[in-house]
């Protein structure tokens, strides 16, 4: 499964965004792709793609508290300083990615870099909250 969260990223004050932040989850047994996109004002979309079916697209709006938590988590991470997961592919496992400011980090299954615990956890929570329920 693939979940991307493109958010207006944070400035450094812990509560504002100034560019896109993406969170992606894809693969799994169904090969589903999920993408959550949030603009600096907290509005956005959640897109789910499965096979050849037409993608499902939902409009979302983060609360001010959610934007603040996400900005704080983003400000504590240097994505450019984190290496991608180089482990062997795991069949039917989920692959993940976070990108911001021209930097991208990817990992699979339970191999999320420790530096991404806060940011990855918050993005995952938002994707669960705003994404459509699993079939």
Domains of the chain with CATH codes: 5-130 (3.30.1560)
- What lies within 8 Å, CB to CB, of 127 at 6+ separation is 3, 5, 23, 25, 34, 36, 46
Angle at 81 between CA 79 and CA 123, to 5 degrees: 25
Mean pLDDT of 89-102: 84
Mind listing the pLDDT tens digit for each residue in 15-68?
A: 566 877 888 888 888 888 888 877 777 888 888 888 778 888 999 999 999 998
Paired sense of beta strands 43-49 and 56-61, if any = antiparallel
Looking at the whole model, is its pTM more than 0.85?
no
Distance, CA of 90 to CA of 88 (rounded, Å): 6
Range with the poorest average pLDDT among 6-10, 40-44, 59-63, 69-73: 6-10
Are the C-beta atoms of 42 and 62 separated by less than 8 Å? yes
Grade residue 8 by pLDDT with cuts at 50, 70 and 90: very low
Grade residue 13 by pLDDT with cuts at 50, 70 and 90: very low
């Amino acid at each position: 499964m693939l979940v991307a969260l493109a958010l207006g990223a944070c400035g450094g004050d812990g509560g504002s965004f100034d560019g896109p932040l993406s969170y992606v989850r894809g693969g799994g047994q169904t090969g589903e792709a999920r993408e959550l996109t949030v603009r600096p004002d907290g509005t956005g979309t959640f897109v789910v793609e499965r096979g050849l079916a037409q993608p499902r697209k939902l409009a979302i709006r983060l609360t001010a508290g959610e934007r603040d938590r996400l900005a704080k988590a983003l400000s504590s991470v240097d994505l450019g300083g984190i290496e991608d997961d180089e482990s062997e592919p795991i069949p039917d496992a989920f692959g993940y990615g976070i990108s911001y400011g021209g930097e991208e980090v990817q990992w699979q299954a339970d191999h999320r870099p420790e530096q991404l615990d806060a940011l990855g956890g918050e993005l995952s929570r938002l994707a669960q909250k705003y994404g459509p329920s699993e079939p």
